[in-house]
Structure 1
Amino acid sequence: MGRQGWRSGAPRWRLTALLGVAAVTLALVVTLLNSPPGRSPGTEGTSRDGGKAHGTPAAPRDADRPEVGWGFTHTQYSADEGSDAATERVGKLLAARPLPQNQAIMGWGADNPEPVRGRYDFGALDRRIDLVRRSGATPVITLCCSPDWMKGGRSGAGNTDWSRQALETAPRPDHYADFAALAATVAERYPDVTHFMVWNEFKGFWNEVEQRWDYEGYTRLYNLVHQALKKVNPKIMVGGPYLVMDSLDPRDPNASATFKGPWGAMDQRVVDAFDYWNTHKAGADFVVVDGSSYTNDDELLPDEFGATAKLTAVSEWVRRRTRDLPLWWAEYYVEPAGAGGHRTGWTEAHRVAVQAAGLIALADGGTGSAFYWNPEPAKGTTCPGCLWTPTDGPDGGRQLPLYGLISRFDAAFGSGSAFVHVPVAADDVPGVRVLATARTVLVVNTLDRPITARIDGRRFGMPAYGVKWLTRPSG
């Protein structure tokens, strides 16, 4: 949801300037009465919805596990709004095979949660969490971004600055505790949410003087949020640092001299930031990163399939650094954006094959949970790289191939999967990617031509960029 996230087409922040009246109305309906921890109660802290908890929470799948599986993130537009027929269609799709779903507290479909200190507007966030609940999925919340008054802006329901620059500004250090208190209020409102990611891609945490990440500031914020969430419920699971694992051309002066491969070299500034957080964090139930297989210059080294080896290398590096803490990728990208930020350069078959290779690479590196960024636009009939078609019209909300890939991957290779080796023979063995458990085999043809393969004792043909699932005999 940051530098890579902005490349995906439709803006990922909520354009509430178009919804000003509705936002104010929602604020009047859903503001909370009770002051969050650490604040003095007053008239602005009053609630009109009768309490802190929202709705009727259920016990979601994997609520007590630090790994939740393979799911997706809701962005600016999703199936909580639109045509009744389209949103119902998506609802049935999600309920048929619930996937873990992530939502930010501000931006990307959610309004400013605390436009005035102690006065809340959770209407849009309530809708998103309710959508996840109806599907029976595990809800995940990203604690980003922060209200304007915490970062030097104006206070008030109609004063939120939704520009990219404003949204990507971090809270001021003297408001870190206020942000932690907001995080605690969110946790109290949604008691069934037990997985929280702290902040997003170090947004606003850049040290201009030293030209490096402000990892000290981020870690102070993270530790305060971690403490506040654990006070709400010790069983809440908290993860960070949600740092973009940028890679560079090896000739770049910021390239790591030791952490590199055919896919490029890691940015040493990222390595330093990660190591500082890892050393000074108050605790973590899982570790979160994000990033792309391609370099900062959108280079796919040596090609789009070979570049996915970076996802394996980074995953293995993180797990060694964190003593095998459960690893999440909050976002992962394998297809650079083209003109206008849209990903339209590949056919859908090509896209699905590279995505499948990326998922295999993540699993090979020890990743247990990952979230696909669903770039749904406001309207239209097609949507390259989306999970379903836009929900603005009655014919929308129809499943697209990537949803089938991710939902089946989660079903076959969910948390705790034990991977096994299977024999592979093909016209071009390096052109085939395979992931297998005792029950399921996923095969990907990375070539732009048909091949014949013999996998796990079975011989079959595959089209160009084909993706095939095999069920292994029991016993």
Structure 2
Amino acid sequence: MRSQGVRGPRVLAALSAAAALLLAAGCESGSARASAAPSNVLGPGLTHTQFSAIDAGPQAAGQVAVALAAQPMPQAQHIMGFGVANPEPSPGEYDFAGLDARMDFIRRSGGTPVITLCCAPDWMKGGAEGTTDWRRLEVAPEPEHYQDFADLAAEISRRYPDVHHFQVWNEFKGFFNEETKTWDGPAYTDLYNRVYDALKEVDPGNQVGGPYIEMGAPPPGVYTGPSELTGPWGLVDQRVLDAFDYWNDNKRGADFVVVDGHTTTEEGAPDDATALAKIGDVNRWIQGRTSLPLWWAEWYVEPDAARWPPEKRLAQRAAGLVEFARTGVATSFYWNAARNAASPSGLWRPDGTPEPFLGTLQEFARQFPPGAPVTDVGVAPPVFGARGPRATVLVNTSDAPVTATVEGADVELGPYEVRWIPRGV
């Protein structure tokens, strides 16, 4: 994951009357709610991180909410850090003000709320009760507190009865075994299984997924042996694949599988277009192991050091979305939606003005609705394309004009052009 917000700014203290009623309804204790299982195929969406629309004031938040509501999408929010405070500073003492405000914004903007169950209060990972050391945000709970974390997940589910989608943890943070130099699949799976059981006890309709591990290469200069997942784009660290397999073989259950990753030249691809081939190869590797819907919690197509022009950045992201649609990704979340000094390429500016890629992301949600059939159109890089039930999309990722042949017809595409062709045209 790229640089994270450790602690978000102060959030709105007041909630709308409708949200307050929902929250009050969710605070009751008692037996599990009985709800029908919601869809676990949500389409493209976004994740809120340290800075989001509500932090810029009511006017900006309202403008962003209106823009998002024009084409609703799933929206994810972490429970600690990433813009919200410690949810349980001491055992049994809760502070949900920040999370309440974020969830309220998601509702007001028409989004399907998704909660990412990360990170853990300090007292669960060796810190003192009542304290929060944000430098240790990415430390995992200690094993003796796995059940405490599961209980917190259950409390959150009860508080937000309209939320039914939960991603468990984030990129195996704190689950690297320094002795064996491997990702600790057994430890993460123990935590996951407890959270899974706790959420299903609250509501059997809750949709729960993991392992939310980054399908990445080994660190630069570190050799970890051969990998079973390679391509012209590079390779995925075999230790990551082993951890995925352990979770997949030993999980109590799951409603979807969630991973994330970078598809950039930083991992060995000779060019930006070739880097995108990693998406399909990763997806096929996972789909060979499970038939569960596949989610990408984060995805990055631009190298950290790159300073691409806006047109190239938009085209490369659109091509990534094409690959998601074409290779069977059920849900994906664009990371760090708000533009700020630390993240100059968000979906909206600090004043609430939408950036062009928000419209592109929403168009993919509109033209490739969840569960709709998607077919290949037979083009090759630098052109990417897919056909949905309503339109065909073509993306030129190069800085020169190209001609693509689709269904026997030549289509001229300008540099970095994203073209939508309605079906029947």
Under a length normalisation based on structure 1, what TM-score does the superposition of the two structures give?
0.81
- Using the alignment, how far apart are the partners of 1:411 and 1:235 within structure 2? 26
1:391-410 equivalence runs, <5 A: 396-410=351-365
Amino acid at match of 2:308: W
Residue number in structure 1 paired with 2:385: 434
Distance in 2 between residues matched to 1:209 and 1:335, nearest whole Å: 33
Pair 1:327-2:287 in alignment: no
1:14 correspondence with 2:11: no
| Residues 118-164 of structure 1: CA deviation (Å, up to 9, x unaligned) | 010000100110111112221000000000010011211xx21112x
Name the structure 2 match of 1:368. 330
Tell me how far apart the structure 2 counterparts of residues 431 and 305 of structure 1 sit (CA, whole Å).
6
Q: Which stretch shifts more, 442-451 or 284-293? A: 442-451
Query: Who is 1:106 aligned against?
Result: 80
The root-mean-square deviation of aligned C-alpha atoms, in Å, is 2.4
Distance 1:438 1:84, change over 3 A: closer
Does 1:315 pair with 2:283?
yes
Q: Is the 8 A contact 1:368 1:414 kept in 2?
A: no
User: What residue identity is the alignment partner of 1:12?
Assistant: G
User: For residues 23-422 of structure 1, what are the structure 2 equivalents within 5 Å?
Assistant: 52-53=26-27, 64-156=38-130, 159-163=131-135, 166-248=136-218, 253-294=223-264, 298-299=266-267, 301-322=269-290, 324-338=291-305, 345-377=307-339, 384-390=344-350, 396-422=351-377
The worse-fitting range, judged by mean Cα deviation, of 412-421 and 196-205 is 412-421
Question: Do the aligned residues in 2 keep the contact of 1:150 with 1:171 (CA within 8 Å)?
Answer: yes
What is the deviation of 1:13?
Answer: 2.1
1:33 is matched with: none
Decide whether aligned partners of structure 1 residues 430 and 169 sit closer, same or farther in structure 2, where only a CA change above 3 A counts.
closer
CA distance in 2 between counterparts of 1:177 and 1:251 reads: 38
Q: 1:446 to 1:379 in 2, by over 3 A?
A: closer
Which amino acid in 2 is paired with 1:68?
Answer: L
Output the amino acid matched with 2:190: R
Query: Post-superposition shift, 1:452?
Result: 3.6
Consecutive unaligned residues of structure 1, counting only runs of 5 or more, are 27-48, 55-61, 339-343, 391-395
Is the Cα contact below 8 Å between 2:339 and 2:347 reproduced in 1?
Answer: no
Tell me the CA shift for residue 472 of structure 1. 1.0
Task: Give the drift of 1:252.
Answer: 5.6
Distance of 2:264 and 2:355 partners within structure 1: 24
**Percent same amino acid at aligned positions?**
48
Query: More deviation in 176-185 or 432-441?
Result: 432-441
Asked if the contact 1:314/1:365 (under 8 Å) is kept, the reply is no
Find the aligned partners of 1:363 and 1:197 in 2 and give their Cα distance.
Answer: 21
1:300 & 1:125 partners in 2: Cα distance?
A: 39
In the TM superposition, what whole-angstrom CA distance separates every residue of 1:398-439 from its partner, at most 9, and x where no partner exists?
111111111111111121121234465xxxx54211111242
Alpha-carbon separation, structure 1, partners of 2:276 and 2:248: 25
**Cα displacement (A) at 1:302:** 2.0
Deviations 1:350-408 (A, max 9, x none): 0111111111222232211100002535569xx63210101xxxxx1111111111111
Instruction: Please say which structure displays the higher CA radius of gyration.
Output: 1
SS of residue in 2 equivalent to 1:287 = strand
